[in-house]
Amino acid sequence: RGGNPAYGWFLEGQVLAREGKAAEAVKAFQASLEENPRTPLAHQYIGELYMQLGRVREAAEEYRAELDLAPRSAVYRGLGLALRQLGQRDSAEMAFRAGLKLAPADRELRSLLAQEIGEKGLIASDRGKWAGALEYFTEAGRVDPANPFYPFAAANALWAMGREKEAEMRIADLLRRAPDFPPARAWRDQGIRPDTTGGGSLLLPPSKPRYDPDRLH
- pLDDT, one tens digit per residue, over 153-202 is 999 999 999 999 999 999 999 999 999 999 999 999 988 887 666 555 44
In a domain, 109, yes or no: no
Q: Could you tell me if 147 and 88 lie in one domain? A: no
Whether pLDDT at 215 is above 50: no
What is the per-residue pLDDT for 163?
Answer: 95
Contacts of 217 (CB under 8 A, 6+ apart): 192, 193, 194, 195
Q: Could you tell me if 189 and 132 lie in one domain? A: yes
Mean pLDDT of the chain: 90
Q: Could you tell me if 120 and 99 lie in one domain? A: no
> How many domains are contained in the chain?
2
Q: Could you tell me if 23 and 69 lie in one domain? A: yes
What is the mean predicted confidence (pLDDT) over 130-143? 97
Q: Could you tell me if 126 and 181 lie in one domain? A: yes
Whether pLDDT at 128 is above 50: yes
What is the mean predicted confidence (pLDDT) over 7-17? 96
Q: Could you tell me if 123 and 211 lie in one domain? A: yes
Burial class (CB in 10 A: 0-12, 13-18, 19+), 48: buried
Supply the CATH number for residue 150's domain.
1.25.40.10
